[in-house]
A = this chain, B = another copy of it.
Amino acid sequence: MSSYGKAFTLWRESAKRKEGDAWSAYTHHSFVESLRDGSLPREAYVHYLIQDYVFLVHFSRAWALAVVKSETLSEMKLASTTVNSLVNLEMQHHVDICAKYGISEQELFSATEEPENLSYTRYVLDAGLSGDLVDLLAALAPCIFGYGEIGKRLADNLSPDNPYAEWIKTYASDEYQQVCNEAGQLIDEALERRIGSDFQASPRWERLTDRFVMAAKLEAGFWSMSLRT
């Protein structure tokens, strides 16, 4: 079992079996591979950074919806801490990185969201509106854990000259890996609370898996959009 928890391990396996391996299509996307070998055009990276800033705004909104849908103090605490980190630290961190690439905060703010960007975050938000906390978390999961998995893999044999080393180290860091471990535990506990310890045997499980797979597919679409410059 992955240190990211039982539900993720099962969802990941399913996503590898579905739609011609939807998990690898996301985590080994050519955008990711070109981050790995440093060949990603700077223009595509800048496109990605701008869109990712707008993504963070709506990703934060989705985590705030997780607070609205929490039933226990531990659910509320983890979701609240995540919202606060995203809005008050991560978004600022993003502004700082973008400044290095000559993108002003104003440019980030006035950026028009690309359809492949909004499709993922709005899908997540509607998962929360239509279902309960675990529907929302199943849709959030590919983003959280995919970045963790990508970060770890790309940090292996990372060339010191890789222009994207900072990005890679961020998601490979102990800090981000800890975020993934805690999110994995939150998801497992939320499933146990709402369905039972044998949650993968419930009639909901297949639909939750479908949400995870769709979300992974939408994440792959985000990479493809980023390459389009």
Please list the residues of chain A having a beta carbon within 8 angstroms of any beta carbon in chain B: 57, 60-61, 64-65, 67-71, 73, 76-77, 79-81, 83-84, 86-88, 91, 109, 112-113, 115-116, 118-119, 122-123, 125-126, 129-132, 135, 192-196, 202-204, 207, 214, 217-218, 221
Contact = CB atoms under 8 A, between A and B. Distances in A.
A129 B132 contact: no
Given A64-B64, A81-B84, A87-B76, A115 B69 contact: no
Contacts of A87: 67, 76-77, 80
Contact of A80 (B69, B83, B123, B129): B83
A84 to B, nearest CB: 4
Nearest to A204: B194
Contacts of A80: 60, 64, 83-84, 86-88
A67 B80 CA distance: 11
16 contacts: A60-B80, A61-B67, A61-B70, A61-B130, A64-B65, A65-B68, A67-B67, A68-B129, A68-B130, A77-B87, A80-B83, A122-B123, A122-B126, A194-B203, A195-B202, A196-B203
Pick the most buried of A69, A113, A119, A204: most chain B CB atoms within 10 A of its CB: A119
| Closest A-B pairs by Cβ, 9 of them | A64-B67, A119-B119, A122-B122, A84-B84, A132-B132, A80-B87, A64-B64, A122-B126, A131-B132
A63 B129 CA distance: 14
Nearest to A91: B73
Contacts of A88: 77, 80-81
A27 B217 CA distance: 28
